[in-house]
Structures are given as structure tokens and as C-alpha cells.
Amino acid sequence: MLIVITGPSGSGKSTLANRVLEELENVEFSVSHTTRQKRDTEIEGKDYHFVSEDEFKRMIQDEKLVEWAVVHGHYYGTAKKELARGTEEGDILLDIDVQGAGQIREKHKKAVFVFILPPLFPELRKRLEKRGQDSESAIQKRLGVARAEIQAYREFDYVVINDELTKAVEELKSVILSQRCRREIREKEIMPILRSFAERD
């Protein structure tokens, strides 16, 4: 199952993704490619694959990406091979923007889309400032984009409001766990149970 989380910069997508990866089994993170500068706290290959613009454009030409977009002036994209990492039972978690989510929706009808909202706009500003990883102008750019992209929540199946972190983590985990209980997803597990009922003691 593909789980797509989207939301304004600073809404807490990375924080929530990391917690879910720690706390739930069988979830893999889709490591995106980006041309933006690595932050001090980030690890190449874990948070992102950091590449040059030339490399990124080559990936587009070679059709290596399942989706890509220009976000806050930088290229971001998901390599097809990231999605192939999902096993039969395993889920893949994608942290991508609204444009990328739209492209995944076109190609993967069964993916689950979760929008992450911050509690209020001033709190989003505070969190971006406190994160201290973006320049003042980058923060302004991100806040400007946030005002527009927030409207896209209507296109999503679920909304998690990241006010109190523990509650938001529980909500995101609940979405994933409830999706895993869907009958069509469970069919493989159900079959041996049904067969056992058909056997004589």
C-alpha cells in the first residue's frame, strides 16, 4: 500500500513520518531525490538523495521518476525504484507536495492520501522559525506557498491536525492500521483461515 502524506512545509510531515517508521512494522520510507541543499540535521540516502540539477534533469529524461515537481524553487521527485521497495505486506510512506500527490493519484488509484495540517498559521510560522534550518527569505517563501496549498486538503482522504504531537502520531498510525484491515488488502491472510474452517478435526 502506498501512503502519501502532504502538507505545508513545517506542518510536521518528517517528524510524523519518522515516528511512524519507528513505531509501526512493515513501513518503508520513500527517499526522494532533491536539488535543494542538505540541512545539517539530514542524512544523505536516509532523508533525501541530494543531487545536482543536471542529475535530476537526466532522471526526468530517462523516465526514472514516478512523479516530480518544483517546490520552493527546487526540484523534488520520487524514483520509480523507491516504490518497488514495497513488499507484499509492506507499506511505502511518501512525503511529497500537492503536485506530486496529484501525479501519484493518477497512477496509483489505491494509494491513501493524508493531509497534515498545522493547528494555526502563526504556529506554523513559529515552528519553521524554531526549526532554524531555513533562511528568513526561505521561510517567507514557504509560508506564502502554504497559504495556497492548504486549500488542497479537499483532495485528500484523511486529515491529521498536528497540534499535540503524540495525538497526531496516533492518528496517522490509525489511518495506516485501518487501511491494513480493508477486506481486499487482507484477502491473502483470510484464505488460510477459511481453509482451516473447511478442514475436519
Give the footprint of ligand ADP on this chain (CB under 6 A). Answer: 7, 9-15, 127, 130-131, 162, 165, 168
Contacts of 5 (CB under 8 A, 6+ apart): 13, 16, 17, 93, 94, 95, 96, 114, 115, 116, 172
> Which grid cell sits at 182?
480493508
Question: Is 91 one of the binding residues for ligand 5GP (CB under 6 A)?
Answer: no
97 binds, among ligand ADP, ligand 5GP, none (CB under 5 to 8 A by kind): ligand 5GP
> Which grid cell sits at 179?
487501511
> Min. distance of Cβ 25 from ligand ADP in angstroms?
22
Site for ligand 5GP in 49-88 (CB under 6 A): 67, 69, 71-72, 76-78
Q: Using the minimum distance from each CB to ligand ADP, give the nearer residue, 41 or 178.
A: 41
Q: Which residue in 104, 95, 109 sits closest to 65, CA to CA? A: 104
Instruction: Report how far residue 150's alpha carbon sits from residue 153's, in angstroms, rounded to the nearest whole number.
Output: 6
Given the C-alpha cell 512494522, which residue does it identify? 25
Q: Using the minimum distance from each CB to ligand ADP, give the nearer residue, 12 or 77.
A: 12
CB 104 within 8 A of CB 2: yes
Amino acid making up residue 119:
P
Q: Using the minimum distance from each CB to ligand 5GP, give the nearer residue, 153 or 180.
A: 153
> Min. distance of Cβ 113 from ligand ADP in angstroms?
15
Q: Which residue in 98, 49, 48, 50 sits closest to 72, CA to CA? A: 98
> Which grid cell sits at 183?
477486506
Contact map string, positions 100 to 129, toward ligand 5GP, x by CB under 6 A: x-----------------------------
User: Contacting ligand 5GP (CB under 6 A), which of 96, 116, 124, 160?
Assistant: 96
Give contact residues for ligand 5GP (rule: CB under 6 A): 9, 13, 32, 36, 67, 69, 71-72, 76-78, 95-97, 99-100
